[in-house]
A and B are shown apart, each in its own frame.
Chain A
Amino acid sequence: MYKSLFYFLIIFLFACGSTEKPLPIIGHYDIVEGDTIYHSIPDFKFINQDSQVVVNNDLADQLYVADFFFTSCPSICPIVKKQMLRIYKEFEDNDKIRLVSHTIDPKRDTPERLKRYAAELNVDTDKWIFLTGDKDSLLEMANEYFVAALEDSEAPGGFDHSGKILLVDTKRHIRSFADGTEADEVTRLLGDINNLLKEYENK
Chain B
Amino acid sequence: MRLILFLFIVGLIQCKSDQTNPEVDKLYKEVMIVHDEVMPETATIHNLKKSIKALSEIDSFGLALILELDAADEDMMGWMADFSKYKEITDSSDSVKIEYLKTEIEKISDVSKGMKSSIARTKKYLASKQ
- Tell me if B4 counts as interface (CB < 8 A to partner A): no
Q: Tell me the smallest distance from the CB of A148 to a CB of chain B, in Å.
A: 16
Chain A residues with Cβ below 8 Å from B30 are none
B91 at the interface (CB under 8 A from A): no
B58 within 8 A of A: no
Q: Are B36 and A161 in touch, CB under 8 angstroms? A: yes
Given A107-B74, A161-B36, A72–B43 Cβ distance below 8 Å?
no
- Could you list which residues of chain A lie within 8 angstroms of chain B, going by C-beta atoms? 70-75, 105, 107-108, 136, 139-140, 143, 157-161
Chain A residues with Cβ under 8 A from B83's Cβ? 72, 74
Give B residues with C-beta under 8 Å from A: 32, 35-36, 39-44, 46, 49, 74, 77, 80-81, 83-84
Tell me if B's interface is mostly helix, strand, loop or mixed: helix
With a CB–CB cut-off of 8 A, which chain B residues contact A71? Answer: 84
* CB pair A108 B81 closer than 8 Å: yes
| Bound: A136/B43 CA distance, A | 11
- Please give 4 more A-B residue pairs, beta carbons under 8 A apart, in addition to A72-B77, A74-B32, A161-B40: A74-B84, A136-B49, A139-B46, A161-B39
Which residues of chain B have C-beta atoms less than 8 A from A161's C-beta? 36, 39-40
Using A74-B32, A74-B35, A75-B36 as known contacts, say yes or no to A160 and B80 having CB atoms under 8 A apart.
Answer: no
What is the distance, in angstroms, from A2's C-beta to the closest C-beta of chain B?
Answer: 55
